[in-house]
Amino acid sequence: MLFKGKNKFIFIGVIIILVIYIFAAAVPMRKDVYLMPKWSSPMPKVQTGQMYFGEAEASGDELKQKFAGKTPIPFSLGNLFGYFTEDGEILRVETAEERFSASFYAWTRYPQKPLFTDIYKPEEFDLEKPFLRIDKPGYVYLDKDRIFLFEPEGSSLSEYDNTGKKLWHYTHTFPITAFQSSKAGCVIGHSDGLLVCLDSDGNTLFSFYPGGSTYQAIMGAAISEDGKQVLCLCGLDKQRVALINISGRQHKIVFHSSFGEDLRRQAFASFDKAGHFAVFESAEGIGIIDCRNLTLSLIKEEGFIAGLGFQDKSALLTVLLKKDDECSLLLINPPDLMIGKTKFKSENAFLIQKENKIYIGTDEKITALDIRGL
């Protein structure tokens, strides 16, 4: 146990006060929408190279039983990663000085120059028992149940199945600067401005240079879940955003807009599940494209996007912004109606949304909140 006796109740009291303070200090929302705290679990303090799994004397089989019948939710927080449940039980937390990647399906960690990568199921605590080894140099990225290997030179990648079989391989001469995958395929951006879309079998749907700027580069890219839309933030000096529709092997830029300022770093970009809205970072704020009406809205907020969630039925967008140690949680009715906003301080933070429930992780705790009144 982490806390005993009176200390336990003091800790619980402090958590309740903090949650009430954080969300009572928020910008008022529409009167019918509010956040209701459900639980708050302290973030275990884990030393470098150590792991938290709740029971110091438990065997490997007993630890696996903690996961039985549960849906583990993966998270990453600074140099920590782990899994928790929707009711607030933290199943495991560990540090990784090296690189790591985790999804609901698996997790892995590896050094700066790995010659191979072992991949484990969420419930596996024995490092001698990976369910899969990618026996090739590179950096593994896990996206849901999809396994990608980015090769060391930075311009090539492959996808593997859960037996270690290579499904396809892609390469170009310039480094990859943007990547996102969905069940329908993936989009890849390069430092020379090339934008490529592959289907789920690795076949090229399009490969072209969006252009429109003095200097070409892909700063961010996203693909919709059905693979029928791609978004990219591209170029420097007259940087612009482009929305591309895909039909079979045909593609068309259906919307684009230029900016007066450039974002000179890799940019976050993503679609909602239905593909109705696309969200991206820009130097002028959070950009939201209405993909049906082909309009762009900009919300003037500072910081980079540390997390994004959608409530599909009510088209509610939640955004976690981070600037230094100040975090902002925004609730937006897309494309441009700010419903609510609250701020809190944390060196590291994450946001996960599952329909009407959001999970906020900070250096101190994970908090679950229900979105009410939708």
Give the mean pLDDT of the chain: 89
pLDDT bucket at 49, cuts 50 / 70 / 90: low
Sequence-separated (6 or more) residues with CB below 8 Å from residue 5:
none
pLDDT of residue 197: 98
Going by pLDDT thresholds of 50, 70 and 90, the confidence category of residue 174 is very high
Q: What is the pLDDT of residue 25?
A: 43
- 52 pLDDT band, cuts 50/70/90, is confident
pLDDT digits (tens, 9 = 90+) for 334-370: 999 999 999 999 999 999 999 899 999 999 999 999 9
Question: Which sign, positive or negative, has the C-alpha torsion 339, 342, 347, 351?
Answer: negative
Tokens of 46: 């884990």
Residue in the structure block whose two tokens are 């590179």: 138
- State how far the Cα of 123 lies from the Cα of 278, in Å rounded to an integer: 34
The DSSP 8-state label assigned to residue 311 in this structure reads E
Distant-in-sequence, close-in-space partners of 359: CB < 8 Å, separation ≥ 6: 73, 75, 84, 350, 351, 352, 353, 366, 367, 368, 369
- Position 6 pLDDT exceeds 80: no
pLDDT class of 59 with cuts at 50, 70, 90? low
Please report the pLDDT score of residue 183 as a whole number. 97
Question: Of how many residues is the chain composed?
Answer: 374
pLDDT at 283: 96
Facing residues of 333 across strands? 337
Return the number of other C-beta atoms located less than 10 Å from residue 53's C-beta: 18
Distance CA 83, CA 37 (A): 20
Q: How much is the pLDDT for 33?
A: 81
65-99 confidence digits (pLDDT tens): 889 889 999 999 998 999 999 999 999 999 887 88
The whole-model pTM stands at 0.88
Q: What does the pLDDT read at residue 21?
A: 41
Per DSSP bridges, beta strands 277-282 and 269-271 are antiparallel
> How sure is the predictor about 20, in pLDDT bands with cuts at 50, 70 and 90?
very low
Cα 153–Cα 159–Cα 162 angle in degrees, nearest 5: 130
| DSSP conformation letters of 208-272 | E----SSEEEEEEEEE-TTSSEEEEEEEESS-EEEEEEEETTEEEEEEEEE-SS---S---EEE-
* pLDDT recorded at residue 224: 98
* Domains detected in the chain: 1-52+304-374 (no CATH), 176-300 (2.130.10.10)
Q: What is the pLDDT of residue 46?
A: 81
pLDDT (mean) for 93-112: 90
How far apart CA 281 and CA 221 sit, in angstroms, is 11
Task: Please tell me what DSSP assigns to residue 44.
Answer: P
- Residue of higher predicted confidence among 60 and 221: 221
Task: Provide the greatest CA pair distance for the chain.
Answer: 66
How much of the chain, in percent, has pLDDT values that exceed 70?
A: 89
Q: What pLDDT, on the 0 to 100 scale, is given for residue 198?
A: 98
User: Binning pLDDT at 50, 70 and 90, where does residue 7 land?
Assistant: very low
Cβ neighbours, 10 Å, residue 309 = 21
Q: What is the pLDDT of residue 54?
A: 66
Count of CA atoms in the C-beta half-sphere (13 A) of 61: 0
Which residue type occupies 24? A
DSSP string, 46-61: --TT-EE-S-TT--HH
Tokens read off for 304:
């980079």
Asked whether 365 and 40 are in contact (CB, 8 A), the reply is yes
Take residue 246 and report the two structure tokens written for it: 């895909």
Q: What is the pLDDT of residue 287?
A: 98
Where would I find the H helices in the chain?
5-24, 60-65
pLDDT digits (tens, 9 = 90+) for 34-43: 889 999 999 9
Q: For the chain, what percent of residues have pLDDT higher than 90? A: 75
pLDDT confidence of residue 61 = 74
Is residue 143 within 8 Å of residue 101, measured between CB atoms?
no
| Helical segments of 45-178, H only | 60-65
With vertex at residue 124, the alpha carbon angle to CA 123 and CA 130, rounded to the nearest 5 degrees, is 135
Predicted local distance difference test score (pLDDT) of residue 322 = 96
Residue 28 is predicted with a pLDDT of 45
pLDDT for 141 equals: 98
The model's pLDDT over 181-198, given as tens digits with 9 standing for 90+, comes to 999 999 999 999 999 999
Residue 18 has what pLDDT?
42
Cα angle 243, 249, 255; round to 5: 15
CB atoms within 10 A of CB 54: 15
